[in-house]
């Protein structure tokens, strides 16, 4: 059974949730469990160069961002509460982040650790990153700090990998996948499509594990899952994210009509009208009876100011599907 932990390593509840999940697993007697860490960003606007957190917490934008790892409380209330709970969970001896750190490279390192060494190595890296940030007051946006964490965890090449672009695409796509799945806070546990939000007590997590035991994992082909997630992102108002996930499918399955039509829709909704028109003209030429492709082509041409050409396609679309004429 696979447990996915969607979390940001700068979210205090992610560290507490890790301890509670470990406690739940310590008494687990069911089927083997693999824990995989997935990226979530509570503060995507964090600067590339870390800043002292005490100063940054005076910024209401930062406070608002931090609410994503403690919905329903003010960040000030959350900081008091989390300090007390961290002590109860044995995290310490001291507690508290010192830096507003950008977690992007840390997520890259976690993705690379899983790719190269599996769940055990990734867990060691996650523990090192969380401890560095919350206990040791280190700047985890520093690649030098991350290289040391990787080396101690058993990934000696981690620093060299971070110096390049290794893990960039994986993290970007995983963040989009999480969004498409509906992950909205850190941490969120996911088992076979079911989710548990927040750093729940270990007995609640154990119940969640028992409920997930025996449930079959979704075994959709990777390209089908990618297409569905891309479609979900478009529905969520993220056409650029949709296009990012569609990229490999367009490269590998360019002739697939469904992929190309979804890409054309995403281009239309992201105001990439030239690209949308080119795709839609090809689709209409291949399938003249596709009324939706004609409708979208007509609207794209309208937006380009090509009203005469647009009118032709809009009339044909309305003739084939009368509701398109309203």
**How confident is the model over 78-88, as pLDDT tens digits?**
777 888 999 99
pLDDT, residue 54, reads: 80
pLDDT band at 61 (very low <50, low <70, confident <90, very high): low
Is pLDDT of 55 > 80?
no
pLDDT band at 74 (very low <50, low <70, confident <90, very high): low
Find, among 14, 245, 232, the residue nearest to 123 by Cα. 14
pLDDT, residue 255, reads: 77
pLDDT band at 219 (very low <50, low <70, confident <90, very high): confident
- What's the CA gap between 164 and 158, in Å, rounded? 10
- What's the CA gap between 140 and 122, in Å, rounded? 16
pLDDT, residue 283, reads: 96
Mean pLDDT of 88-95: 90
The set of residues, in sequence order, having a beta carbon less than 8 Å from that of 315 and lying 6+ positions away, is none
User: Residue 188 is inside which H or E element, if any?
Assistant: strand 188-191
In order of their start, the domains of the chain are: 2-212 (3.40.30.10), 222-325 (1.25.40.10)
């Amino acid at each position: 059974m696979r447990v996915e932990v969607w979390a940001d390593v700068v979210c205090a509840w992610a560290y507490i949730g890790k301890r509670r999940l470990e406690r739940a697993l310590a008494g687990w007697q069911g089927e083997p469990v693999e824990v995989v860490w997935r990226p979530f960003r509570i503060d995507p606007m964090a600067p590339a160069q870390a800043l002292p957190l005490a100063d940054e917490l005076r910024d209401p934008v930062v406070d608002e961002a931090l609410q994503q790892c403690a919905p329903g409380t003010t960040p000030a209330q959350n900081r008091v509460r989390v300090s007390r709970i961290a002590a109860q969970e044995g995290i310490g001896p001291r507690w508290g982040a010192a830096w507003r750190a950008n977690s992007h490279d840390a997520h890259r390192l976690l993705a690379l650790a899983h790719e190269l060494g599996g769940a055990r190595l990734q867990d060691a890296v996650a523990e090192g990153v969380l401890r560095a940030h919350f206990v040791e007051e280190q700047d985890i946006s520093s690649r030098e700090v991350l290289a040391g964490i990787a080396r101690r965890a058993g990934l000696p090449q981690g620093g060299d990998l971070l110096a390049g672009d290794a893990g960039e695409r994986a993290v970007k796509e995983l963040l989009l996948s999480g969004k498409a799945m509906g992950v909205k806070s850190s941490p969120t546990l996911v088992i076979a499509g079911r989710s548990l939000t927040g750093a729940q007590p270990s007995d609640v997590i154990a119940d969640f594990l028992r409920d997930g035991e025996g449930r079959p994992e979704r075994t959709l082909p990777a390209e089908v899952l990618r297409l569905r997630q891309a479609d979900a992102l478009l529905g969520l108002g993220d056409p650029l994210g949709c296009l990012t996930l569609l990229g490999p499918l367009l490269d590998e399955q360019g002739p697939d009509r469904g992929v190309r039509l979804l890409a054309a829709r995403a281009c239309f909704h992201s105001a990439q009208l030239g690209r949308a028109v080119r795709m839609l003209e090809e689709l209409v030429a291949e399938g003249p009876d596709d009324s939706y492709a004609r409708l979208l082509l007509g609207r794209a041409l309208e937006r380009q100011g090509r009203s005469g050409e647009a009118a032709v396609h809009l009339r044909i679309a309305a003739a084939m599907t009368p509701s398109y004429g309203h």
